[in-house]
Homo-oligomer: A and B are copies of this chain.
């Protein structure tokens, strides 16, 4: 039994911009159901022309691309509130895959209705563009981190980003957050080898800047970590939720 958008479990969180009840009702018409998938399950595959768009409600996942030589680049991690499938929505083809890391619950929209959003609800269309611009911004930062930073800086950058996002989702529990990814996932996200990533994480642990173990990440001093990671200090803005 799908939740009504009125009772959306995440809409009220700090991270998200307020919606008028009008907007909520509009999104409800656009929504076609809910999807629950297991940990490890694929959600979208590269090259596919999926008929669906998703908003992640709970759980974590990752977007990635595979190369012909077998290497994998993790484009980014998927958090609650992320909108998935926009590329397919506008360009009819995904250029990366998405899979669940933990069990996930997602809100499902019908792609063919996307056009009616642009026609009938320009505010929501604007929000969609806003999300696309945010993604572009994030990827610009990722390119910069991977292209110009040392391993230690990269891991610090990634930890900061993830930590801030999880906190904004109120998923932090007395100062630490769940972080159920494998070290290999982080390595593939940052363009580092698994072994070197492991040693770099250990170094951050030694310096008491970040402790990632047993699936949880604890950061005693986020400001110190962000300084090390050369993180631009743009506060993360309230984002629209689709």
Which residue from chain B places its CB closest to the CB of A150 in the assembled complex?
B69
List residues of A (170-220) whose CB comes within 8 Å of B's CBs: 188-191
> A134–B91 contact, CB under 8 A?
yes
Q: Is A142 part of the contact surface with B, judged by Cβ < 8 Å?
A: yes
> B136–A125 contact, CB under 8 A?
no
> B65–A144 contact, CB under 8 A?
yes
Q: A90 contacts which of B68, B126, B232 (Cβ < 8 Å)?
A: B126
Q: Which residues of B contact A148 (CB under 8 A)?
A: 67, 71-73, 191
Nearest CB in chain B: distance from A76 CB, A: 9
Q: Which residues of B contact A147 (CB under 8 A)?
A: 73, 146, 188-191
List residues of A (133-152) whose CB comes within 8 Å of B's CBs: 133-137, 139-144, 146-149
Q: How far is the CA of A96 from the CA of B144 in the complex (A)?
A: 10
List residues of A (114-146) whose CB comes within 8 Å of B's CBs: 115, 118-119, 122-123, 125-126, 128-130, 132-137, 139-144, 146
> A91–B137 contact, CB under 8 A?
yes
> A230–B139 contact, CB under 8 A?
no
Q: A87 contacts which of B95, B133, B188 (Cβ < 8 Å)?
A: B133
> A144–B67 contact, CB under 8 A?
yes
Nearest CB in chain B: distance from A119 CB, A: 5
Q: Which residues of B contact A149 (CB under 8 A)?
A: 67
> A91–B237 contact, CB under 8 A?
yes
Q: Is A86 part of the contact surface with B, judged by Cβ < 8 Å?
A: yes
> B95–A130 contact, CB under 8 A?
no
Q: Which residues of A contact B (CB under 8 A)?
A: 63, 65, 67-69, 71-73, 75, 86-87, 89-91, 93, 95-96, 115, 118-119, 122-123, 125-126, 128-130, 132-137, 139-144, 146-149, 188-191, 230, 232, 234, 237
Extra contacts besides A89-B133, A119-B122 (6): CB < 8 Å:
A90-B130, A95-B141, A125-B129, A132-B136, A143-B143, A146-B147
